[in-house]
Structure 1
Amino acid sequence: MLRSFSVFALTLAIPLPAKAAPPNVVLLVGDDQCWTDYGFMGHEHIKTPHLDKLARESLLFKRGYVPSSLCRASLATMITGLYPHQHKITSNDPPLPKGLTAAQANKDDSYLKLRADMVALFEASPDLPKLLGKEGYVSLQVGKWWEGNACRCGGFTEGMTHGDPLKGGRHGDEGLKIGRQGLQPVFDFLDKAKKDQKPFFVWYAPMMPHTPHNPPERLFNKYKEKTKSEFVAKYWAMCEWFDETVGDLLGKLEKSGQVENTLVIYLHDNGWIQDEMSANFAPRSKRSQYDGGLRTPVLIKWPGHTKPGTSDHLASSIDLAPTILRAAGAEPTKDMPGIDLLDPQRVATRHTLYGEVFEHNAVDITKPSANLRHRWIVDGHWKLIVPHEPNVKGEGAELYDLSKDANEKEDLAAKRPEKVKELTKKLNIWWKPE
């Protein structure tokens, strides 16, 4: 017997007509922004008019998540549709050689070999540009990109990132100019795709609002009177600056007549809570096991195929690849655990998400459990966090009721041991590390 699902969910997606042309795909990825820090998510001060407009035109999942709160692992999941322990990109960097700084390590042959080995691990997984290429798509990478040369290693037909560590390649190099220095490479690509009548995939992942928080003076001046913290004002201004670049890209689609058959998806790679006393992030945000680092809104707009609305169902970045592939008329690989977010029945009957948080520098690049700090599960409105005891000492499991405690302030693990046991069992069925 089929499980019941909400009638409302059915209204948010329209079946794909037979023999429809494959959609263009634009994936917009914010970098280091808290799930609350948008106008459409109710922030009191931050103005994001272009993303607000996109939200009004989209299927909005307010309860979206990324499985890991560190950018490289998170981005690799978006592009492969796999959890970090599957694609093995769990950390930003290899183990740092003893006695060397990060800058020194980037000139060390053994360290550079490990960095190349990490890219090779990524290349072993199918990814969206390669899979879409088989369907006749052209593709463009701009912005953050960790996995070597965007075209050679990532399968994009065009890209800004060369990935050579000897020339400053690490997490985007030339691609990191996008947004902060305009969007001309994106505009040129869109014009070419239109001329060639090719379906396209755009990976737009600018390092924004990521540090350095150096917004235009006009935006900083707008926010500095709204807070006592210069650091908070700069971060808020960066959020609006990023929003302006999204507006520029979406405006180009409108002007070029490419918007009607374009699937646009937005989310961010991990959260960020601005420290009021420094340029750094505050605890319980980036790199943490809490929603401040893991939660993100997910927006999906595809004219004629999605109806504007807000869903209270769970969504994850592991769902991006299956959603995009099915829209393009292709099938996800058998290893992809996510669902098609445009399938209302699957969305309505999914009640559980999983994730994992790892070290910034790997201990062992081939063994995910060696780098693991925490696993987590959201089941309905319950969230359980379980530390990996071999690597994290002195911590116990934490349990939160997100329906009453969205900021995870009251740990209920001691009061609800039966719920901890139940969710731990589910977590171990999903992935039980060595």
Structure 2
Amino acid sequence: MTARTALSTLLLMLALAPASRARPDGLDLPRIGNARPRNVVFILSDDHRFDAMGFLGHPFLKTPNMDRMAREGVHLKNAFVTTSLCSPSRASILTGRYAHNHKVVDNNNPVPPGTVFFPQYLQAAGYDTAFIGKWHMGGDSDAPRPGFDRWVSFRGQGTYLPGRNGLNVDGTPVPQKGYITDELTDYAVAWLEARPDDTPFFLYLSHKGVHAEFEPADRHKGTYDHAEFTPPATMDPDFEGFQDRPLWAQNQRNSWHGVEFPYHSTLDVAEFYKDYCETLLGVDESIGRVLDTLQSKGVLDDTLVIYMGDNGFGFGEHGLIDKRVAYEWSMRVPMLMRCPDLFAPGTTVEQVVANIDIAPTILEAAGLAAPEHMDGRSFLQLAAGEEVQWRDALLYEYYWERNFPHTPTLFALRTDRYKFVRPHGLWDLDELYDLQADPMEARNLVFSPEHQEILQQLKRRLFEMLTETGGMTIPLYPDRGGSQNLRNADGSPAAEFPDSLLRRVPPNQGRP
């Protein structure tokens, strides 16, 4: 018996073990007519930007399984997150609420006690549920959270390769044995294979990939060594299309999240991007393994499979890297769905959908009406081609973090054509972009005479939406987390990036 076969056997035995957590009470939702419960698989990746998929004409990246989902299902081409940061976005997915309502506004603080996650409603409706992968909200603990019969996770960001902390499997510490994307998929496949035919199931497969520091699987290293990376035009500080840029964005170029001193290192953005694409190959293969497992069980075509990223990521646009900001490359994400019983193959949805819509969408697929406190809406009818009165604008928010102080608190409103961005707490410019005429968001129209009426309309609508959704107060917490320039008591970096990345600091750059 090979080591891989032995691991697969162990995972299958663990998956067959009876759930030990009691079903929740008091979380029953009204059923939608005679709709039958449908199996659902939700696959989430980390930092996957909207345009990093092969079928969109990428110059070198190959994603055959994402391409398959688009070909056989639905591509939601205008999918966004309402906060471009791991923990807030993940909390919005699990609650269907804006960050100002679920209160997870950074990567340091845990979910407030009493928060209800949508899988708890599925449990109450008789679903078998599993969470496998990165949780990240409250990185000090990897303990099982409410809503899941099966739990496989790790603390904080976890590690691509086996490290000190390992995994938490249903409350029991288990060593990590291999490359994290593959190992999480092993657990997911084993759990799916063990599912009885008479019980609906929900699987939430939450990958670490492709979070920085990017670490491809050994089989993928070097795949794109000879690929050509074309720097985005707005990476050039003298790009002739720039107009009235906010000072904070100009200053951020020479910061932890800027191309002139990325992560306070000599990191090469081109190589960084190639590593990113190679790391993404493992996530694409994971999608294929899940689809193949569903097919082997005979449930693929009546299972709703959703894939999305938790936020975007920049590789030089506006002279920046990372996320957090309200530019398209930061807040726009890939989203794909497959379920021939519900959607025609090759469908494209043009309307703006968001992470807050995932919970009500999955609940509707389960035949359940979403609770009124959710801010999002189901987009199943949109994907089915039905006429639906849909949102005309999307609200975006990001709250300043002490340990990553380069990006201010931002509120933004995005319509089909325009985007208005308002920084809070600093003396700087608002931003207004015509996304049709200026998709790179280089020409700030805030002083344009012919755009003053639309500027005022969007500003009013932004505050109307904040008022309507309870967002007129800023969540504030005591300081947690460190600065990337500081170290914890044990000598480890007080930041969300591992020491291997921080050691790239050139000599005499002053980090204690």
Query: Is 1:230 the counterpart of 2:271 in the alignment?
Result: yes
Distance 2:155 2:224 in 1: 36
Conserved in 1, the CA contact under 8 Å of 2:32 and 2:367? no
Unaligned runs of 5+ residues in structure 2 are 1-30, 158-163, 230-269, 474-512
How high is the TM-score relative to the length of structure 2? 0.68
Query: Is 1:154 the counterpart of 2:190 in the alignment?
Result: no
Q: Indicate how the Cα distance of structure 1 residues 352 and 87 shifts in structure 2: closer, same or farther if over 3 A, else same.
A: same
- How far residue 347 of structure 1 moved from its aligned partner, in angstroms, is 4.5
Give the counterpart of 2:58 among 43, 48, 51: 43
Give the counterpart of 2:397 among 356, 370, 373: 356
> What whole-Å deviation, never above 9, does each CA across 1:183-209 have from its counterpart, x for those lacking one?
2211221122235x2211111111112
Give the counterpart of 2:120 among 116, 119, 130: 130
Query: Is 1:377 the counterpart of 2:379 in the alignment?
Result: no
SS in 2 for 1:183: helix
Distance 2:418 2:322 in 1: 19
Conserved in 2, the CA contact under 8 Å of 1:34 and 1:296? yes
Conserved in 1, the CA contact under 8 Å of 2:418 and 2:434? yes
Give the counterpart of 2:104 among 50, 74, 89: 89
- 1:55 corresponds to: 70
Q: Indicate how the Cα distance of structure 1 residues 287 and 422 shifts in structure 2: closer, same or farther if over 3 A, else same.
A: same
Q: Indicate how the Cα distance of structure 1 residues 55 and 422 shifts in structure 2: closer, same or farther if over 3 A, else same.
A: same
Conserved in 2, the CA contact under 8 Å of 1:326 and 1:332? yes
Distance 1:170 1:405 in 2: 45
Aligned pairs for 1:283-302 within 5 A: 283=320, 285-302=322-339
Out of 62-71 and 281-290, give the one that drifted further: 281-290
Conserved in 1, the CA contact under 8 Å of 2:154 and 2:167? no
Give the counterpart of 1:405 among 417, 438, 452: 438
- 2:240 corresponds to: none
Conserved in 2, the CA contact under 8 Å of 1:272 and 1:282? no
- How far residue 245 of structure 1 moved from its aligned partner, in angstroms, is 1.4
SS in 2 for 1:27: strand
Aligned pairs for 1:266-285 within 5 A: 266-274=307-315, 283=320, 285=322
Out of 43-52 and 406-415, give the one that drifted further: 406-415
Conserved in 2, the CA contact under 8 Å of 1:140 and 1:156? yes
Conserved in 2, the CA contact under 8 Å of 1:359 and 1:373? yes
- How far residue 243 of structure 1 moved from its aligned partner, in angstroms, is 0.8
Q: Indicate how the Cα distance of structure 1 residues 199 and 227 shifts in structure 2: closer, same or farther if over 3 A, else same.
A: same
- How far residue 249 of structure 1 moved from its aligned partner, in angstroms, is 1.4
Conserved in 2, the CA contact under 8 Å of 1:58 and 1:306? yes
> What whole-Å deviation, never above 9, does each CA across 1:325-346 have from its counterpart, x for those lacking one?
1111111111112121012357
Unaligned runs of 5+ residues in structure 1 are 1-15, 95-117, 364-370
Match of 1:302, as an amino acid? C
Aligned alpha-carbon RMSD (Å): 3.1
Question: What is the percentage of aligned positions where both structures have the same residue?
Answer: 29
Aligned pairs for 1:2-401 within 5 A: 19-94=34-109, 118-119=110-111, 121=112, 123-147=113-137, 152-161=144-153, 168=165, 178-181=180-183, 183-194=185-196, 197-227=198-228, 229-274=270-315, 283=320, 285-308=322-345, 309-344=347-382, 347=388, 349-360=390-401, 373-388=409-424, 390=425, 393-401=426-434
Conserved in 1, the CA contact under 8 Å of 2:143 and 2:168? no
- How far residue 350 of structure 1 moved from its aligned partner, in angstroms, is 2.5
Q: Indicate how the Cα distance of structure 1 residues 174 and 317 shifts in structure 2: closer, same or farther if over 3 A, else same.
A: farther
Distance 1:253 1:78 in 2: 23
- How far residue 174 of structure 1 moved from its aligned partner, in angstroms, is 7.0
- 1:13 corresponds to: none
What is the count of residue pairs matched by the alignment?
378
Match of 2:51, as an amino acid? T
- How far residue 244 of structure 1 moved from its aligned partner, in angstroms, is 1.1
- How far residue 20 of structure 1 moved from its aligned partner, in angstroms, is 4.7
- How far residue 232 of structure 1 moved from its aligned partner, in angstroms, is 2.3
Higher relative contact order (CA 8 A, sep 6+): 1
SS in 2 for 1:240: helix
Distance 1:218 1:62 in 2: 30
- How far residue 316 of structure 1 moved from its aligned partner, in angstroms, is 0.8
> What whole-Å deviation, never above 9, does each CA across 1:64-115 have from its counterpart, x for those lacking one?
1000111000000001100000000000014xxxxxxxxxxxxxxxxxxxxx
Q: Indicate how the Cα distance of structure 1 residues 171 and 379 shifts in structure 2: closer, same or farther if over 3 A, else same.
A: farther
> What whole-Å deviation, never above 9, does each CA across 1:354-412 have from its counterpart, x for those lacking one?
1101234589xxxxxxx970011112211111111x3xx13221111112222211111
Decide which structure has the larger Cα Rg and report it.
2
Conserved in 1, the CA contact under 8 Å of 2:47 and 2:210? yes
Give the counterpart of 1:418 among 431, 453, 459: 453
